[in-house]
C-alpha cells in the first residue's frame, strides 16, 4: 500500500528554524507567501495565486514595490512584473500548467537600501510527473558485469577506534576499505551501540562535494540501537583539516573539472562507477560485523547520498529498505528536452555536456533507472522550494517506484531537512525491521 503524507508548512504559521531557513536565516526581513491552495498543489489548468506580505524588523511593510518573475521549475522565467504592497499585502497570479510540473514565483524587493529575495514553488499534478530518462539497452547486464569485477577485488579493512566520537553509549571507528579496484579505498565512520546484542545496520553514503565529515549528526542512530556507517566516496580521509579539503576540492571538485563529469563520455570509465560499486563493498563489510543482526540492512542518505542509497537498494538484494531525502542524480538529461533536470545540472551549469556519448552514459547512472528496479520498501522526503535537487526530479523518481513506498512532502523546505525529520526517518526505518 502506498502512503503519502503531505505536510503544508506555511511561513505565516511556521516557527523556529523553519522560518529562519527560508526568510533567510537571521534576516531583518521576513517574507510571508501564502498560496490559495494550502498544500501548494493544484490540478492541471487550475489557476494558482499567492498572497505576499513583507515584514521589516517584524513590522508589516506598506508602499513597497515587489518585482517578480514566474517560470517552470529551474528553467527561464516566462513572465515578470511588479506589484505594490499598498495595504501590506498583494496577490500575484501565478497561472497554471497544462502538463504535470512546478511553477516558481521569484520575488525581490528593496528595503532600507538592500535587495531581499524569496521564492515559492507550486506543484501542478506532480504525482503524475514522469522522467525524461529512458532505460538503455543492456542496463542490467552492464551492472551485473561491473558488480562481478568489483567483487573479485580482495576486501582489505583498517579499523581505528576514534575516542573523539565515542562515549559510554557509542563506539566509533574510522574504517578504511579497499573497493572497486585494487589499491583504491574509501573511508567512513562506523558507530556501534556500546551494549550487548545484535543490531540492524544502516549504510549511509555521502552528499555531493569533497569535504570533511564527522558522524555526530547521526550518532543518535547508535544511541537508539542501530549500527550506522557514514561513508565517503573519494578515498580521502574524512578527518583531514578543512583547508586541505578545500585544496583538493579546487583541484577536481568544481565546474568542468568536477568529479561528476570525469569520464562521462564512457559508462565504463565514468567516475561515479567507483562510488556505486564502493557502496556494495561497504555492504560486504557491514554484513560481516558480528554485531549485525543478520536480517536488517538499510540504505539511507540525502542529496547525492539519497541517490546512492536508492541505487544501492536496486543493485544489491541484501538491502531490506531504503530512505532518501531530496535525491540528486535524477533525470539529469531532461534539460536537453527543455525540461527540468536534476543535480548536478550538467546541461544548465556546465559546458560541452550535450553530446550523444554523455547522454548515453548518464542513462546507465541516472537514479530514475535504478528506482525502476527497487523491490524493497522506500521512504522519501523532499521540499518544493529546493533549487539543488528540484521537486520535479524527486517526483520523477518517486513516481516510477513500484515497490511499497511512503513520502513525506514538506513544501517549504529548500535543500535541507529538520532534525525532527531526521528522527522521523529513523522511526520509519525501525518500522521496517524484521
Per-residue pLDDT of the chain (434 residues; tens, 9 = 90+): 334 443 333 333 333 333 333 356 788 999 999 999 999 999 999 999 999 999 999 999 998 999 999 999 999 999 999 999 988 999 999 999 999 999 999 999 999 999 999 999 999 999 999 999 999 999 999 999 999 999 999 999 999 999 999 999 999 999 999 998 999 999 999 999 999 999 999 999 999 999 889 999 999 999 999 999 999 999 999 988 888 888 888 887 777 788 999 999 999 999 999 999 999 999 999 999 999 999 999 999 999 999 999 999 999 999 999 999 999 999 999 999 999 999 999 998 888 999 999 999 999 999 999 999 999 999 999 999 999 999 999 999 999 999 999 999 999 999 999 999 999 999 999 999 99
Q: Domain extents for the chain?
A: 9-128, 139-431
Bond before 24 cis per omega within 30 degrees? yes
H or E element at residue 45:
none
pLDDT at 256: 79
Q: How far apart are CA 97 and CA 95, in angstroms?
A: 7
- Cell numbers for 186: 574509501
**Strand partners of residue 187:** 176
Assess whether 118 carries a catalytic annotation.
no
Assess whether 386 carries a catalytic annotation.
yes
H or E element at residue 405:
strand 405-409
Q: What is the pTM of this model?
A: 0.93
Nearest to 417 by CA among 120, 21, 6: 21
Nearest to 396 by CA among 199, 198, 130: 130
Task: Give, as one character, the DSSP assignment of residue 349.
Answer: H
Max intra-chain CA distance, the chain: 70
Task: Note whether 258 and 244 are within 8 A (CB).
Answer: no
Domain 9-128 fold is Immunoglobulin-like (2.60.40)
Task: Note whether 310 and 322 are within 8 A (CB).
Answer: yes
CB atoms within 10 A of CB 190: 24
Assess whether 65 carries a catalytic annotation.
no
Q: How far apart are CA 423 and CA 323, in angstroms?
A: 12
Sign of CA dihedral 56, 59, 61, 66: positive
| CATH number for the segment(s) 139-431 | 3.40.50.1820
pLDDT at 24: 65
**Helix ranges, 69-171 (H):** 139-151
Cβ burial, residue 16 (10 Å; 0-12/13-18/19+): exposed
CA dihedral 292, 294, 299, 300 (to 10 degrees): -50
Catalytic residue (one of 258, 303, 330, 394): 303
pLDDT at 6: 37
Could you tell me the CA-to-CA distances from 424 to 201, 202, 408, 417, 420 in Å, in that order? 17, 15, 9, 11, 6
pLDDT at 5: 42
Could you tell me the CA-to-CA distances from 113 to 26, 63, 64, 109, 209 in Å, in that order? 18, 15, 12, 10, 35
- Cell numbers for 312: 544501492
Amino acid at each position: 500500500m502506498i502512503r503519502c503524507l503531505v505536510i503544508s508548512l506555511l511561513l505565516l504559521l511556521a516557527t523556529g528554524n523553519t522560518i529562519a531557513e527560508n526568510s533567510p536565516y537571521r534576516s531583518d526581513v521576513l517574507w510571508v507567501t501564502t498560496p490559495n491552495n494550502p498544500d501548494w498543489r493544484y490540478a492541471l489548468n487550475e489557476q494558482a495565486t499567492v498572497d505576499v506580505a513583507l515584514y521589516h524588523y517584524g513590522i508589516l511593510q506598506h508602499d513597497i514595490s515587489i518585482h517578480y518573475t514566474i517560470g517552470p521549475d529551474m528553467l527561464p522565467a516566462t513572465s515578470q512584473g511588479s506589484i505594490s504592497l499598498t495595504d501590506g499585502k498583494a496577490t500575484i497570479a501565478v497561472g497554471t500548467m497544462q502538463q504535470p510540473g512546478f511553477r516558481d514565483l521569484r520575488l525581490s524587493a528593496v528595503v532600507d537600501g538592500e535587495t531581499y529575495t524569496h521564492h515559492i514553488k507550486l506543484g501542478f499534478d506532480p504525482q503524475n510527473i514522469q522522467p525524461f530518462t529512458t532505460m538503455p539497452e543492456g542496463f542490467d547486464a552492464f551492472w551485473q558485469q561491473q558488480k562481478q569485477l568489483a567483487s573479485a577485488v580482495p576486501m582489505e579493512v583498517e579499523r581505528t577506534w576514534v575516542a573523539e566520537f565515542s562515549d559510554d553509549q557509542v563506539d566509533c571507528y574510522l574504517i578504511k576499505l579497499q573497493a572497486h579496484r585494487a589499491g583504491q579505498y574509501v573511508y567512513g565512520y562506523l558507530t556501534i551501540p556500546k551494549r550487548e546484542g545484535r543490531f540492524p545496520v544502516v549504510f549511509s553514503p555521502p552528499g555531493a562535494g569533497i569535504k570533511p565529515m564527522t558522524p555526530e549528526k547521526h550518532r543518535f542512530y547508535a544511541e537508539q540501537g542501530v549500527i550506522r556507517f557514514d561513508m565517503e566516496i573519494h578515498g580521502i580521509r574524512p578527518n583531514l583539516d578543512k583547508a586541505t579539503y578545500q585544496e583538493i576540492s579546487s583541484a577536481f571538485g568544481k565546474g568542468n573539472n568536477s568529479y561528476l563529469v570525469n569520464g562521462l563520455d564512457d559508462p565504463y570509465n565514468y567516475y561515479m562507477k567507483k562510488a556505486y560499486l564502493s557502496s556494495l563493498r561497504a555492504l560486504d563489510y557491514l554484513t560481516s560485523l558480528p554485531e549485525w543482526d543478520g536480517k536488517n540492512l538499510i540504505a539511507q542518505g540525502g542529496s547525492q547520498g539519497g541517490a546512492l542509497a536508492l541505487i544501492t537498494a536496486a543493485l544489491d538484494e541484501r538491502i531490506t529498505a531504503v530512505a532518501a531525502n531530496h535525491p540528486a542524480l535524477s533525470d539529469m538529461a531532461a534539460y536537453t528536452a527543455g525540461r527540468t533536470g536534476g543535480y548536478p545540472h550538467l546541461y544548465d551549469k556546465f559546458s560541452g555536456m550535450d553530446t550523444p556519448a554523455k547522454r548515453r552514459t548518464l542513462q546507465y547512472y541516472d537514479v530514475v533507472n535504478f528506482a525502476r528496479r527497487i523491490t524493497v520498501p522506500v521512504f522519501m522526503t523532499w521540499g518544493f522550494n529546493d533549487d539543488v535537487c528540484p521537486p520535479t526530479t524527486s517526483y520523477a523518481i518517486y513516481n516510477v517506484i513500484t515497490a511499497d513506498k511512503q513520502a513525506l512532502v514538506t513544501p517549504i523546505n529548500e535543500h535541507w531537512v529538520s532534525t525532527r525529520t531526521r528522527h522521523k526517518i529513523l522511526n520509519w526505518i525501525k518500522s521496517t525491521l524484521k
